[in-house]
Structure 1
Amino acid sequence: MWQCPKCGREFKNTNQDHYCGEPPKTIDSYIAAQPEDVRPYLNQVRDTLRDALPDAEERISWSMPTYWRKQNIVHFAAFKKHIGLYPGDKAVEHFLERLTEYKTSKGAVQFPYRMPLPLPLIAEIAKWCYDTGNYH
C-alpha cells in the first residue's frame, strides 16, 4: 500500500492520482483549487461542455466536474500533464479513430497541455453521449 504524503490516504498503486483534501463542492471551487496555468484549459473545456450540453446540470461527481442529466454524461479533470475527459468506454470506442494522437484507456481520453485542446471534438463526444444515452 502507498500512502499519500499530503493527505494520508492509502492506495494500492504508488503515486496514484487522486484529489487530496476535502472534495470540491462546485466546479468553480474545483477550478479555483487547480494551478493557475491549468485553469484556462479547464475553463475552455467547461465552456465547451456548457455549450454542447445546455440542458445538463453542472455538478461534482467522483470529485470531478461533471455534466449530468438523470445520470452522469461526462466528467473532466486536471492532472499534472493533461486534462482527462471521461465520456465512458462506448464513447471512446466510437471516436477512437479520431483520438489516435491522444492517450486513451477504457472510458477516458488524455489531452496533454502541450497540445491545443480539440474543443469541437470534445463537444461532439459530449453531444454523442447525451444523444445516444451512453451515460456512465
Structure 2
Amino acid sequence: MDLADYLAALPEQRRLRLEVLITEIKRLYPDAQESLLYSMPTYQWQQGWVAVANQKGYVSLYTCSPEHLLQFQQKHPGIKCGKGCINFKDKDPLPLQDLQQVITSAMTAS
C-alpha cells in the first residue's frame, strides 16, 4: 500500500482533513522523507518526525513527545490531545497556524 491507496480508502471528509495536514507538513518540510510506518503516513526530517492517521472517530497528528503539544493544548483546550498526539474529531477545526508550531517542534527535535 502507498500513500495514494491509503488516502483513497478513506471517507471523503477524513481524506480531505488528512490531505490538509499532509500538505502543511510538506509545505514546511519539503525535503522530509515520506513513508508509511506502522501503516500511517509518516514524515521524517533529520532526527524528528510526525505522522498522521485516520482513526475510528477522528484523524490524528502524532509527534514524538508530549512536549511538542504544550502550546497547542493551552490555545485549544477543546481539542483532545493524547501523550504525543492531537485527535481532531470531524467537528474540530484544523488551526494550521498553531499546528505549524507543533510540526516544527517535532521535526526539529533531537
Q: In the alignment, which residue of structure 2 is the partner of 1:28?
A: 4
Structure 1 residue ranges (4+ consecutive) displaced by more than 6 angstroms after TM superposition: none
For normalisation by structure 2, the TM-score amounts to 0.84
**Do residues 127 (structure 1) and 100 (structure 2) align?**
no
**Do residues 99 (structure 1) and 76 (structure 2) align?**
yes
Percent identity reads 28
**Do residues 55 (structure 1) and 31 (structure 2) align?**
yes
Tell me which protein shows more helix as a share of its residues. Answer: 2
Unpaired stretches in structure 2, ≥5 consecutive residues: none
Unpaired stretches in structure 1, ≥5 consecutive residues: 1-23
Larger Rg: 1
Q: Bigger relative contact order, structure 1 or 2, given CA contacts below 8 A and separation 6+? A: 2
Cα distance in 2, alignment partners of residues 91 and 71 from structure 1: 14
SS of 2:104's partner is helix
Cα distance in 2, alignment partners of residues 119 and 48 from structure 1: 8
RMSD (Å) for aligned C-alpha atoms = 1.8
| Residue-pair matches, total | 109
Task: Indicate which of 66, 79, 86 corresponds to 1:109.
Answer: 86
How far did residue 71 of structure 1 move? Answer: 4.6
Cα distance in 2, alignment partners of residues 75 and 46 from structure 1: 9
Cα distance in 2, alignment partners of residues 130 and 37 from structure 1: 26
Cα distance in 1, alignment partners of residues 76 and 37 from structure 2: 25
Q: In the alignment, which residue of structure 2 is the partner of 1:17?
A: none
Contact 2:80 2:88 in 1 (8 A): yes
SS of 2:31's partner is coil
